[in-house]
Structure 1
Amino acid sequence: MGVVVKLSGPRDPSASLAPLVALVEEDMAHVNRIILDRARSNVDLIPELARHLINSGGKRLRPMLTIAAAKLCGYEGDGHVRLASSVEFMHTATLLHDDVVDESSLRRGKIAARLLWGNEASVLVGDYLLGQAFKMMVDVGSLGALRILSDAARSSPRARCSSPPNTETTEDDYLAVIDAKTAALFAAAAEVGAVIAERPKSEAAALRSYGRNLGLAFQLVDDALDYSGEQSTLGKSVGDDFRDGKITLPVVLSYRRGNKEERAFWERTLKEGQVGGDDLAKAIELIAQHTALADTMERARHYGAIARDALAIFPDGPIKSALQDAIEFSVDRPF
């Protein structure tokens, strides 16, 4: 299987997220109550599956961004909690749909919902959650927030409807996919905090930039960890992206830096889907040989730095500091 590559130092990266978690703790408890309340239904499966998702853990970084951004902008109402709940419902619906598309067996280290309730039920519950998300957006009464989040909702399916695996994918192509798949919701989650606080466009744009670049860094690290992490901390099997034929940045860099024989390996395994028992180990070996993991992490740090600079227009304080620490967590996390 190859050697596990440590992508972070000895300090526990989770400590970087602790200030943000503490600042939004009360509002996030309210988010959880809203999720359970909005998941009530005469169809027993819906609340049952909703409880399964809440109990499965997860960092809840996206709704925390909405709450923290609203606080940073001095918002004093309660609309930010409902928008944060909408963001979490949108994200959860995407996970349910993605697990069906990818035929995943694990989600956050636990059995994926599709294996417990079936693919059809997972898709239908995902659709139900999206409907509830949009109802909450309408209830908040901010046309700007509704526009921003609805645009984000269109981005992820568009990214998933891409062409078959293509080993000729460029780094720009890859970035466009993760921008739509992951960064768009991060960006929207942060931007709506300024919008409902009716702050200047410059602040909304700054928070959108922060969220987008944080999302890019987050996904880059995710893609690196698939070839370097451990299943016990990842919450999924190491090499899932490889087995699913996904063209992520470690592969893009390794393919372009490789010789003819190495490129033929990537074409056979990812493009043609012919994966043998020792191929994952070979893939990890080639990625290490061409320093593709280290360079992927360097890109993640680059986008993390842009996210940090985006916050520069806001006054210093505990909320801004916590949002900056969230960048450190996203780049240095082991899962």
Structure 2
Amino acid sequence: MGVVLNLEGGKRETASIKRLMELTAPDMARVNELILSKAGSDVELIPQIARHLISSGGKRLRPMVTLAAAQMFGYSGDGHVKLATSVEFMHTATLLHDDVVDESNMRRGRETARTVWGNQASVLVGDFLLGQAFRMMVDVGSLEALDILSSAASVIAEGEVMQLGVSKNLDTTEDEYLTVIKAKTAALFSAAAEVGPVIAEASRNDRAALRSYGTNLGLAFQLVDDALDYGGTTSELGKNVGDDFREGKVTLPVILSYRRGSAEERDFWKRAIENAETDDAALEKAIGLMARHGAIGDTIGRARHFGEIARDALAPLKDTPQKTALLDVIDFCISRVT
């Protein structure tokens, strides 16, 4: 449908998470084994639904961040594997719950669990995965790590409720929207990054640096996703292009376009978002209005801004292969739209 403008004149060919994957490969093999083990149950439907989503091709970026952050400070135990698995289970549970709330039919190019097994089963299996995540956190024996991840779970739930409040609300401000995605998306990135140095007994400043890195990476990640919904491809998104629009989601490109538009254009947005007039023709018009008012480019600009804050957060830390890999993640995130 739409095309996202290349703001820098060319895609960065080096933007990848290859280094992160290589550094964490042995530990990720253990994480994957633990995922399969902890997703098991005598209740047949639980492993069916869990594996449907777990095996659907996600990059598992969040647990890799946890592993690299622990390695970065010389951690040598196995607690980081359990915490990384907990992070992935929290993320998976959130996806199961999100798809029910959003009434989504596609996830990573496959039918969502709610489409196959129904809403009730999806919510309950999400709850099961959260329970398993907390059991693993307790096994690690770090009260501080448990506090960070349990607090993140609470904040994520708050973010979901806040999103309901801004859903279809075109009066939502940019600040209000950023508050939502900081809770809904960035909180888990932040926790995933912070628990690594926590169990490695790194300094308070080091923990704060990784926490800031994760928060701002998460904000950038979500804003890139928002932009891709109007200018990406199904393979990049893991869902259909324009799904946010069809679901009436008020994301930053919509907020900017609505506020910058004429009275006639704002009437269009009200019909589309509030009255669900979101057919293909309406989507094309929405993309055109976003191009006219620079909404996609400015959303990407915001993402770059948070990416640079994430980069600066790591700047004082000593140079290690893990630090370089975590910096690569920022470039990889932004490169999805350039």
TM superposition score category, shorter chain reference: over 0.9
2: CA distance, partners of 1:284 / 1:80:
43
Q: What's the CA shift string for 1:191-229, capped at 9, x where partnerless?
A: 011111111111110000000000000000000000001
CA distance in 1, matches of 2:11, 2:277: 38
Does residue 160 (structure 1) correspond to residue 160 (structure 2)? The answer is yes
User: Any idea what SS the aligned residue of 2:230 has?
Assistant: coil
Q: Does 1:175 align with 2:178?
A: yes
Partner of 2:246: 243
- Once structures 1 and 2 are overlaid, which stretch shifts more, 242-251 or 126-135? 242-251
Q: Using the alignment, how far apart are the partners of 2:232 and 2:222 within structure 1?
A: 14
SS, match of residue 313 in structure 1: coil
The answer as to 2:271 corresponding to 1:272 is: no
Match of residue 329, structure 1, among 329, 332, 335: 332
Q: For 2:299 and 2:75, locate their aligned partners in 1 and report how far apart those are by CA, in whole Å.
A: 37
Q: Distance in 1 between matches of 2:57 and 2:193?
A: 21
| Aligned partners of 2:185 and 2:219 also within 8 Å | yes
1:274 alignment partner, SS class: coil
Cα distance in 1 for partners of 2:113, 2:322 equals 35
After superposing the two structures, state which structure 1 stretch, 41-50 or 278-287, moved more.
41-50
The aligned counterpart of 1:16 is 16
User: Aligned Cα RMSD in Å?
Assistant: 1.5
Deviations 1:154-182 (A, max 9, x none): 12221221314211111101100000000
What is residue 4 of structure 1 aligned with on the other side?
Answer: 3
Give, in whole Å, the separation in 1 of the partners of 2:207 and 2:291. Answer: 40
Contact 1:210 1:308 in 2 (8 A): yes
Aligned partner of residue 169 in structure 1, secondary structure: coil
Identify the residue that residue 119 of structure 2 maps to in structure 1: 119
- Measure, in 2, the Cα distance between the counterparts of 1:333 and 1:10: 9
Tell me which residue corresponds to 2:98.
Answer: 98
User: Residues 36 and 50 of structure 1 are in contact (CA less than 8 Å); yes or no, is this contact kept in structure 2?
Assistant: no
Which whole-Å CA distance do the structure 2 matches of 1:277 and 1:87 have between them?
37
Letter in structure 1 aligned against 2:45: L
Of 211, 215, 223, the residue aligned with 1:220 is 223
Letter in 2 for 1:229: G
Task: Indicate the larger mover: 269-278 or 182-191.
Answer: 269-278
For the Cα contact (< 8 Å) 1:213–1:307, is it kept in 2? Answer: yes
**Contact 1:66–1:189 under 8 Å retained in 2:** yes
User: Hey, what's the Cα distance between the residues in 1 that align with 2:278 and 2:209?
Assistant: 44
Deviations 1:237-294 (A, max 9, x none): 1111111111111111111111111111111211233334411111000001101111
**Structure 2 counterpart of 1:49:** 49
Contact 1:233 1:334 (C-alpha < 8 Å) held by counterparts? no
Q: Deviation per CA, 1:12-34, whole angstroms, max 9, x where unpaired?
A: 46x52100011001111101110
* Conserved 8 A contact 2:5-2:297: no
Query: Which segments of 5 or more consecutive residues in structure 1 lack a partner in the other structure?
Result: none
Residue range with higher mean Cα deviation, 263-272 or 72-81 = 263-272
Percent of aligned pairs sharing the same letter:
64
Instruction: Compute the displacement of 1:313 (Å).
Output: 2.1
Shift of 1:39: 1.2
Kept in 1, the 8 Å contact 2:31–2:84? The answer is yes
In the comparison of the two structures, how many residue pairs are matched? 333
Q: Does the 8 Å CA contact 2:230/2:287 hold for their aligned counterparts?
A: yes
1:187 aligns with 2:187: no
Distance in 2, matches of 1:45 and 1:86, equals 20
Give SS of 1:16's match.
Answer: coil
Conservation of the 8 A alpha-carbon contact between 1:242 and 1:280:
yes
Aligned-partner residue type, residue 165 of structure 1: K
Distance 1:203 1:90 in 2: 24
What SS is found at the alignment partner of 1:75?
coil
Q: Secondary structure at the match of 2:315?
A: helix
Contact 2:236–2:336 (CA under 8 A) maintained in structure 1: no
Q: Any gaps of 5 or more consecutive residues in structure 2?
A: none
In structure 2, how many angstroms separate the alpha carbons of the residues matched to 1:206 and 1:258? 39
Equivalent residue for 1:302, pick from 295, 305, 310? 305
TM-score, length basis structure 1: 0.96
Query: In the aligned structure 2, how far is the partner of 1:233 from the partner of 1:324?
Result: 21
SS in 2 for 1:278: helix
> How many angstroms does 1:187 deviate by?
0.3
For the residue of structure 2 that corresponds to 1:226, the secondary structure is helix
Is the Cα–Cα contact under 8 Å of residues 219 and 306 in structure 2 kept in the other structure? yes
- 234-243 vs 184-193, greater mean Cα deviation: 234-243
Instruction: Give the secondary structure class of the aligned counterpart of 1:161.
Output: helix
2:168 corresponds to which letter in structure 1? P
Distance 1:275 1:54, change over 3 A: closer
Secondary structure of the residue that 2:17 maps to in structure 1? Answer: helix
